[in-house]
Amino acid sequence: MRRNLFTTRFLVNEALSLLSRLETVKPFALTMPMVTAACIPDEALKGITDLIVSGNKELKKRVRDFVAWVSHPDSQHVSAEEAQRRFAVLKLRFNDLLDELDIFADVTSQRAEHDTGVWVAGLDVLAADALDLKGKYYKAPPVICYLERGHGAAIRRARTRLPSGGDNPVAVVQLPRERMVGSGIASSLIHEVGHQGVALLDLVRSIRNQIQYRKKKSNYPAAWELYHRWISEILADFWAMAHLGIGATLGLINVVSLPRYFMFRIKLDDPHPFPWIRVRLSLAFGKKIYPHEQWERLERLWLSMYPLQKESPATLAIIDALNRIMPEFTDLVINHRSATLKGKKLLDIFPYKTRHPARLQFLYNTWRFSPEEISTAPPSLVFAAIGQAHADTNISAAAESKLLSDWLTRWAFLSVENRTKKETRQIIHEIKNLIND
């Protein structure tokens, strides 16, 4: 059935309205006010700008092609139903572009908040440091952070699929606002960054293969199966531990300290270890990587806050099996080797040797009297030293918060000074092309 003229005009008008809406989709460099120190790193901004510009150009072309097709006499034999189907597909692609815009708008709009914008830019620097392994194991993507309501942190990893089907050009880390207190923020941030690093190294697959082998030979196959299911989250916690030392465990305790009912709730479809065993695993890794009496002290505290005596026999049986194979499991992770690690043990790709308690205590005491020396230290090392001071109760909560706030601001400022003008010129060039299109 041929379309009538009214149907054609209706669809043309609807398509042109998409073009009008597209004219308001601008790169964030044109729309988001922020102080210079709060700006998104150039590489990340360029990736986001390229994504928006290319999506915008592609969609404009599709809309114009549709208008030309539906208006041409040769298409009049196509039914209204088929013409509407083609327009609906075009509109879905339009909605995908807006969804992608919203993903990054949450990040960039926050940079305009007084103080918060600069602090978050400082977290970008910490995240980049935690992802930057010395040894060229991968090309690290840019990472940008933002704060959100709620209690859970999350990451939208780089090189994963966006609503449009394209690849995400940057890793986006979401952090709860309530964690912007003291050094505990680093534990959550580096855990999420760890998910990105673990994916780049393909560790989940290679370690799961080894777990399956151990499971077949073990008297506790069900416990190995649980570690198999939880391995992604365990490796992200391990990433934080290798960068922060005891600060990673203290941050984790702060996050998972919930009423008793939640601490021992074992859900077989949950990729996260239940909170009680998750802290036990962090303590077990800490003991092996950084031998020190502090771990025993912290473990006694944890067991006293959540004693096992009240749990059911079924829960106790699961915990007993997990504890029995925990030494073997933690050794497996620490000593894991794979092609992506270039023959090294997993632990050896991290800067753990500078995170031993005695070393961190020395650094903190040095920095107290020579604060200018902090400027040469990696951000994750600064957080590790202050986290150690927190564990030793050598710093007050107020002093810890102020010190870290000052350094987040300083890192944000220094990152602006170190940016290259080449990337900035490329961003401006892309924006001009979009405006002139």
For residue 34, report the phi and psi dihedrals to the nearest 5 degrees: -165, 155
Maximum Cα interatomic distance, the chain, rounded to a whole number of Å: 85
- Residues in CB range of 120: below 8 A, 6 or more apart: 38, 110, 111, 145, 146, 147
- pLDDT score of 435 more than 50: no
> Quick one: pLDDT at residue 45?
76
When pLDDT is cut at 50, 70 and 90, the band that residue 427 belongs to is very low
Which region holds residue 321: left if phi is over 0, alpha if psi is between -120 and 50, else beta? Answer: alpha
- Report how far residue 301's alpha carbon sits from residue 305's, in angstroms, rounded to the nearest whole number: 6
Which residues, in sequence order, are CB contacts of 114 under 8 Å at separation 6+? none
Q: pLDDT digit string (tens) for 192-207?
A: 999 999 999 999 999 9
Which residues, other chains included, contact 149 with Cβ-Cβ below 8 Å and sequence gap of 6+? Answer: 176, 177
Do residues 66 and 88 lie in contact, with contact meaning Cβ atoms separated by under 8 Å?
no
> How far from 170 is each of 65, 145, 152, 205, 214, CA to CA, in Å?
31, 10, 20, 23, 36
Decide if pLDDT at 431 tops 50. no
Q: What is the pLDDT of residue 417?
A: 66
More confident call, 405 vs 275: 275
In this structure, are residues 387 and 417 in contact, taking their beta carbons and an 8 Å threshold?
A: no
**Where is average pLDDT lowest: 211-220, 350-359, 365-374?**
365-374
Alpha-carbon span 363 to 384, nearest angstrom:
10
* CA–CA gap between residue 8 and residue 366 (Å, rounded): 76
Residues 6 or more apart in contact with residue 429 via CB below 8 angstroms: none
Q: Compute the average pLDDT of residues 386-413.
A: 88
For 244-270, the pLDDT digits (tens) are 999 999 999 988 888 888 899 988 788
pLDDT of 2-11, one tens digit each? 666 777 788 8
Tokens of 378: 């990696």
Residue with the bigger pLDDT between 297 and 372: it is: 297
The mean predicted confidence, pLDDT, of the chain is 85
